[in-house]
Structure 1
Amino acid sequence: MNLSMESKAPAIQAQNWIGGEPLANCQPGKVYVLEFFSTTCGFCVAPMLKLIQLQEKYRDRGLEVVGVAANERAATADQAQAYIDAWLTENVPTLNFRVGIDCTGEMNKLWKEASFSFALPCSFVVDRDSRVAFIGNPALLDSVLPQVLDGTWRSSDQAKAADRERIARGREDVFLSKISAAIEMEDWKTALSAIEEGIALLPDSLQLRMAHAHLLLHKMGDMQTGLAVLRQLVRDAIDRNSEDWLLGLLTQLFGPKYDDTNFPPAERLAMGKELSEHVLALTGLEDKVKASYYRSVSRYFYESGDKARAEELLELAVKLVDGLPVPDDSKQLWLENLLQTLANYKGEEVCHGDVCVVPRTHIPSGATPDAEKKNLA
């Protein structure tokens, strides 16, 4: 059964409950938020704390928040409850809603898998008609909940568009998981088949189309077919003038994790030039986004031999980051990564304020290992 907006809310199959009486089904006349979380999810604490506020704010309008713990690695529901009790006591001490615990896999099957939802945390909103009204990121509840409570959300164009996009992302994740598993086994035929099937279903998926080029060029070594696929992808990115597509392809061409040994240098640089020009021509971008783009584009200029332009872009990125209203520890780490790349390009120590770094050797494109593990921008 596929679960989407307008679907009848499935049953709530939890074995143990914390902070309230058992609930088997969403009752008509009430609005429910089912929040799937896990004690091992590093991003789940803040949404749970926010849900406390939402429960208090909208309780008189019929809101019932229900936490769902269905991803605990425990042998029994009692053992899972012990883990969850300890986690809630430490992280959510003022809990004002009930939490259901399922160790059978049924809740994930009925709710998350049926709706192509794989991330945690994940929110499901059920409206007064016991119909699913929203599935997705709990960060969106502030804007979605008032409309669900008013009965205006499900019929809105915004809701329908959000649900279409969510389903597309979920299907994309399914294909990417299949592809990743096949690549890990070096089963190129299966991976290629999954990619082609996915692109046929989701032709606008940048991730699938990039995976197609990557598989052909870097795994299968089919340079002729791979280059044709990549050329078309570059043309499509430019036609769309999409920042995600342009930067994604630039990263695929010049990111340090890709082996370009057999890639024709002239063609690679030609594609990089075209993409970089369009990225730099984008307007209306926030400073945070610009800083990220400047660092990515600097890799192209460095490899093309325009070292001065590469350094100029990194220096601009440093200035932008320095002015961002972000926590000091995040800003410091971001600046260190940018300055490390700049030092690698210059071949000398560089400083900005109290932050100084020296060049490192044997690091492709001047990128730092930490920067490549996590996109801080």
Structure 2
Amino acid sequence: MLGIECPAPPLIVENWLRGEPLTNFELGKLYIVEFWASWCYPCVKAMPHLIELQAKYKDEGLEVVGVAAYEKAPTAAEARTKLDAWLTENFSNLNYRIGFDSTGETKKLWMDASCSSTVPRSFIVDRDGHIAFFGNPTDIAHVLPKIINGTWSSDEAKAADAKRIADDQRTERFYSIKDTIRSAEEAKDWPAALSAAEEGIAMMPDDRHFREIQAGLLLQMCDTATGFQVLRQLVEDAIEKRSDAVRGLIAVMDQLFGPENDKAHLPRAERFAIGREVSEYILNSVQDSGGPTFDSYRVVAQYYYESGDKQRAIELIERAMAWLDDPEIVSEPAKQYYMPRLLQTLANYRGETACCSGSCSSSQENSPGAPKVQPQEET
């Protein structure tokens, strides 16, 4: 087992994609060993922060090492080539080492030995070559300065490890319940899926994720009264707590106005009443914070389109496209994924071909963003 204060295992890495090979941990230096994958959104989101840490603490002897041990491809050679191209395209400014664990040996010595089942996972190796911390990379900014100045105590390390274990157990249970829900939905066993979602709510009463699933399942099962009650409570909680409110409200809007959802059986008056309240809140929040998001404009645009305000819907999609086109805000892979979908939605809203940056989409009645019925004025 690998735990706090254990000697750091070796890095058995055959392929170093960036930086010089690291053969051993040098005494007197600090290391962040980050296990990650290019398909993992939290991993990719953490990379700019690791770049900053490497630059900030370089003079303190810090070396950041990324270990890609979970790449997906038919062969190790294909995974390596794919990852190399991905790094070139997305992180040309990378200032720390990246190793590709093609054999899985390093994964066994670090991730498996520490009972770490998810990425990203950050390990800090202290100046004596021992594990001083491991857990979520979001905690590094708090821990690393203390390790550098010598104030990181054994008690803090053990408390952090206990929290890590509890969080990991919670995460494993979370994904286990999600797998149960997914399997039940694939079998169209809606009561079983709903029962699993309710188990998730009991386990994580303050987390909105399973409540969102519960609402969707209730609406799917045509229990619209209870489904709308759950959605109303989600809206009230999001607005009251404010923390991460917009993201929660976007999920509510997707339930009610997502083009992929069948909404024919939903009471129109209730659906549009919630839609109007939530749309106004989202747009006001975006304006107040000065931080628009692609999803904010996308879901609100669909509400306006179905309400009959086609021009407002078009304007919001155009704003979303402009936001998505900013390389300082949105990564190139995200842009490549979302931009064609936005362009298609814009064409559907306009009822004619729409073009952007050399790409064009033609209006398609049944594509996402084009309701099967003509928008009507809300009554």
TM over 0.5: yes
Aligned length: 346
Map 1:360-371; keep pairs closer than 5 Å: 360-366=364-370
CA distance in 1, matches of 2:187, 2:234: 26
Among 253, 268, 274, the alignment partner of 2:256 is 253
Whether the 8 Å contact between 2:345 and 2:370 is mirrored in structure 1 is yes
Whether the 8 Å contact between 2:29 and 2:127 is mirrored in structure 1 is yes
CA distance in 2, matches of 1:342, 1:52: 37
Whether the 8 Å contact between 2:65 and 2:97 is mirrored in structure 1 is no
Helix, strand or coil: the match of 2:259?
coil
Quote how far apart the aligned CAs of 1:254 are. Answer: 0.9
Is 1:279 aligned to 2:282, yes or no? yes
Helix, strand or coil: the match of 2:369?
helix
CA distance in 1, matches of 2:227, 2:29: 54
Give 1:343's aligned residue: 347
Helix, strand or coil: the match of 1:8?
coil
Give 1:373's aligned residue: none
Quote how far apart the aligned CAs of 1:73 are. Answer: 7.9
Among 184, 189, 192, the alignment partner of 2:194 is 192
Helix, strand or coil: the match of 1:284?
helix
Q: For residues 184-225 of structure 1, what are the alpha-carbon distances to aligned partners after superposition, in whole Å with 9 as ceiling and x for unaligned?
A: 34444443333222222222222221111122222x443343
Alignment TM-score, normalising by the size of structure 2? 0.66
Helix, strand or coil: the match of 1:118?
coil
Helix, strand or coil: the match of 1:35?
strand
My pick for the range that moved more, 239-248 or 329-338, is 329-338
Q: 1:32 to 1:320 in 2, by over 3 A?
A: closer
Quote how far apart the aligned CAs of 1:52 are. Answer: 9.3
CA distance in 1, matches of 2:271, 2:219: 12
CA distance in 2, matches of 1:284, 1:259: 33
CA distance in 2, matches of 1:53, 1:281: 33
Map 1:199-218; keep pairs closer than 5 Å: 199-218=201-220
My pick for the range that moved more, 98-107 or 354-363, is 98-107
Gaps of 5+ in 2: 15-20, 89-93, 372-379
Whether the 8 Å contact between 1:144 and 1:153 is mirrored in structure 2 is yes
Alignment TM-score, normalising by the size of structure 1? 0.66
Q: Residue type matched to 1:365 in 2?
A: G
Q: For residues 295-335 of structure 1, what are the alpha-carbon distances to aligned partners after superposition, in whole Å with 9 as ceiling and x for unaligned?
A: 32011111122223323433444555567756897779866
Give 1:118's aligned residue: 118
Quote how far apart the aligned CAs of 1:40 are. Answer: 8.0
CA distance in 2, matches of 1:40, 1:320: 23
Q: 1:259 to 1:125 in 2, by over 3 A?
A: farther
Gaps of 5+ in 1: 368-377
Whether the 8 Å contact between 1:123 and 1:135 is mirrored in structure 2 is yes
Q: 1:337 to 1:311 in 2, by over 3 A?
A: same
Q: 1:174 to 1:136 in 2, by over 3 A?
A: farther
Q: 1:72 to 1:209 in 2, by over 3 A?
A: same
CA distance in 1, matches of 2:212, 2:113: 32
Quote how far apart the aligned CAs of 1:179 are. Answer: 2.6
CA distance in 1, matches of 2:205, 2:235: 15
CA distance in 2, matches of 1:86, 1:226: 47
Helix, strand or coil: the match of 2:35?
strand
Helix, strand or coil: the match of 1:301?
helix
My pick for the range that moved more, 86-95 or 35-44, is 86-95
Whether the 8 Å contact between 2:73 and 2:79 is mirrored in structure 1 is no
Whether the 8 Å contact between 2:32 and 2:64 is mirrored in structure 1 is yes
CA distance in 2, matches of 1:223, 1:300: 19
Q: 1:297 to 1:127 in 2, by over 3 A?
A: same
Quote how far apart the aligned CAs of 1:275 are. Answer: 0.8
Q: Residue type matched to 2:347 in 1?
A: A
Q: 1:257 to 1:312 in 2, by over 3 A?
A: same
CA distance in 2, matches of 1:340, 1:44: 29
Give 2:147's aligned residue: 148
Helix, strand or coil: the match of 1:123?
strand
CA distance in 2, matches of 1:109, 1:174: 19
Map 1:1-150; keep pairs closer than 5 Å: 8=4, 16-18=12-14, 19=21, 31-37=30-36, 61=60, 63=62, 68=67, 70-71=69-70, 101-102=103-104, 107-111=110-114, 114-115=115-116, 118-119=118-119, 121-127=120-126, 130=130, 132-137=132-137, 145-150=144-149
Quote how far apart the aligned CAs of 1:279 are. Answer: 0.9
The root-mean-square deviation of aligned C-alpha atoms, in Å, is 5.1
Is 1:237 aligned to 2:241, yes or no? no
CA distance in 2, matches of 1:253, 1:185: 23
My pick for the range that moved more, 298-307 or 140-149, is 140-149
CA distance in 1, matches of 2:10, 2:323: 49
CA distance in 2, matches of 1:94, 1:303: 48
Q: 1:191 to 1:337 in 2, by over 3 A?
A: closer
CA distance in 1, matches of 2:98, 2:360: 49
Give 2:317's aligned residue: 314
Give 1:375's aligned residue: none
